[in-house]
Structure 1
Amino acid sequence: MSFTLRIRTFLFYLLLSASAFFWGILSVLIGPFLPFRARYRFIVQAWCRMAVWLARVMVGIRYEIKGLENIPERPCVILAKHQSTWETFFLSGYFEPLSQVLKRELLFVPFFGWAMALLRPIAIDRSNPKAALKQLAKQGHERLEQGAWVLVFPEGTRVPAGQIGKFSRGGAALAVNANLPVLPIAHNAGEFWPKEGWSKRPGIIQVVIGPALYAESTGPRAIAELNDRAFAWVEQTQREIGALPPTAVPIDTAAPV
């Protein structure tokens, strides 16, 4: 990474951190008095779009998106590839309102976490997989009934670029039980915003939204089949955009949901 890019990356993180701090304070003060949808737009959508914009301006991370025509009118379960923090910002800013499955510990971060708690996230305890699955099933169903998208990273954690983790069935189970589809999303954000370290690389992130996938029946077998189809689509699309080598095999990330 060049010296200039190092400086720009440092300034990017400085501005991002400062904006998160001040926006968190403002959100905690204003958010409770806003209706939920307006609260989401103010606290999450505006800041996340700013973060994506800041990454483009400061470190040259742009994006192209394909498959917008595949987005259903009614909110459903989003099953997205997880490589970096960028897709969390992007998806939270693009789909609204959106309820995200996240680590419970994030809600304890002063101001930022408190603001997140106002947005009805599904905050799970990753050390207790069984409880996490039950929580996703219950709260996820409630969020869908309330008209919110539910974002699930079925790999359970960020997986480095060039790899793919096995998909947990929690998101597929939620969709089947709610009689809604899953919306698979593939991308290569990890090539420009790596999982490890602070380095960034200029370039164009390819985001591909797949067709909404519906279960063909009900029950455990339908859940497994839908999850397999979603994984197969994401895996194939990752290969097509050059984000996954032909010889790569799924790794076990022990995802709780």
Structure 2
Amino acid sequence: MSILQAIRVFLFYLLLGTSSLLWCTLSFFIAPFLSFRARYRFINVYWCRCAMWLTRVILNIKVEVIGAENIPQTPCVIVSNHQSTWETFFLSAYFQPMSQVLKKELLYVPFFGWAMAMLRPISIDRDNPKAALKEIASKGDKLLKDGVWVLIFPEGTRVPFGKIGKFTRSGSALAANAELPVLPIAHNAGKYWPKEGWGKRAGTIQVIIGEPMYAQSNAPRAIAQLNDQVQAWNEQAQRSLGSLPAQPEVVTETVI
């Protein structure tokens, strides 16, 4: 990383951290008096747009969305690969209101966690997979019925660019039981915003939104088939973006 790029990254994180602290503090005092949808826009959408603006202007990382016409009018389950923090910012602003699965420990972070707690997240204990799956199923179903998008990263953790993690069935099961589709999303954010380290690369992140996918029923076999279909689509989409080699290296890890 060049000296100029290092300065850009330092400035980016300085402004991002400062804006996060100020915005979360402000949200803590204002958001409780707003409706959920207004609260989501105030806390998440506006700040995430600020983060995306800083990313574009300071780091020169842009975004290209392919397949926006595939987004259904009714909120459903969004299933995306996970390579960096960038897609969390982007998806939180692009789909609204939206809830996502996160570690419950994040809610204990002063100001940031307190603000996140007001956005109806699905907080889970990753050390207790069975309880986590029940939490995703019960809270996710309620959110979907309330017209809230639910974002799930089925790999369960950030996976380095050039690799893909095994997709768990939580997203497909949630969609099948709610009789709603899975909206598959693939991207190459890790190419410009790596999982490890502070370095960033200028360029254009490509996001592909696929056609909604439905399970034939909520039977275990149908859920497994939908999950396989979603992962196969994601692998193919990532190959088209140059994110995966001809034979992708699969990351094996026990995740939710």
Question: Common fold, TM-score beyond 0.5?
Answer: yes
Letter of the structure 2 residue corresponding to residue 8 of structure 1: R
- Tell me by how many angstroms 1:253 deviates: 2.4
Letter of the structure 2 residue corresponding to residue 229 of structure 1: Q
Taking only the aligned residue pairs, the percentage that are identical comes to: 64
Q: Distance in 1 between matches of 2:74 and 2:172?
A: 17
Q: Give yes or no for the alignment of 1:80 onto 2:80.
A: yes
In the TM superposition, what whole-angstrom CA distance separates every residue of 1:133-157 from its partner, at most 9, and x where no partner exists?
Answer: 0000000000001100000000000
**1:14 — aligned with what?**
14
**1:232 — aligned with what?**
232
Q: Structure 1 stretches of 5 or more lacking a match? A: none
Q: Distance in 2 between matches of 1:45 and 1:254?
A: 32
In the TM superposition, what whole-angstrom CA distance separates every residue of 1:206-225 from its partner, at most 9, and x where no partner exists?
Answer: 00000000112221011100
In the TM superposition, what whole-angstrom CA distance separates every residue of 1:30-62 from its partner, at most 9, and x where no partner exists?
Answer: 000000000000000010111011011111110
Task: Find the residue that maps to 1:17 and give its secondary structure.
Answer: helix
Q: Distance in 2 between matches of 1:19 and 1:180?
A: 36
User: In 2, are the aligned partners of 1:84 and 1:193 still within 8 Å (CA)?
Assistant: yes
Aligned 1:1-257 pairs, distance under 5 A: 1-256=1-256
TM-score when normalising by structure 1: 0.99
User: In 1, are the aligned partners of 2:188 and 2:243 still within 8 Å (CA)?
Assistant: yes
- Tell me by how many angstroms 1:249 deviates: 3.2
Q: Structure 2 stretches of 5 or more lacking a match? A: none
Task: Find the residue that maps to 1:115 and give its secondary structure.
Answer: helix
User: In 1, are the aligned partners of 2:173 and 2:218 still within 8 Å (CA)?
Assistant: no
User: In 1, are the aligned partners of 2:169 and 2:227 still within 8 Å (CA)?
Assistant: yes
Q: Distance in 2 between matches of 1:95 and 1:179?
A: 20
User: In 1, are the aligned partners of 2:82 and 2:153 still within 8 Å (CA)?
Assistant: yes
Q: CA RMSD in A?
A: 0.6
Q: Distance in 1 between matches of 2:244 and 2:254?
A: 20
Task: Find the residue that maps to 1:250 and give its secondary structure.
Answer: strand
TM-score when normalising by structure 2: 0.99
Letter of the structure 2 residue corresponding to residue 197 of structure 1: G
In the TM superposition, what whole-angstrom CA distance separates every residue of 1:107-165 from its partner, at most 9, and x where no partner exists?
Answer: 01100110000010001111110000000000000000110000000000000000000
Runs of 4+ more than 6 Å apart = none
Task: Find the residue that maps to 2:196 and give its secondary structure.
Answer: coil
Q: Distance in 1 between matches of 2:150 and 2:180?
A: 11
Task: Find the residue that maps to 1:184 and give its secondary structure.
Answer: strand
Q: Distance in 1 between matches of 2:202 and 2:218?
A: 45
Q: Distance in 2 between matches of 1:34 and 1:14?
A: 29
- Tell me by how many angstroms 1:250 deviates: 2.1
- What is the total number of aligned residue pairs between the two structures? 256
Q: Distance in 2 between matches of 1:5 and 1:48?
A: 22
Letter of the structure 2 residue corresponding to residue 68 of structure 1: A
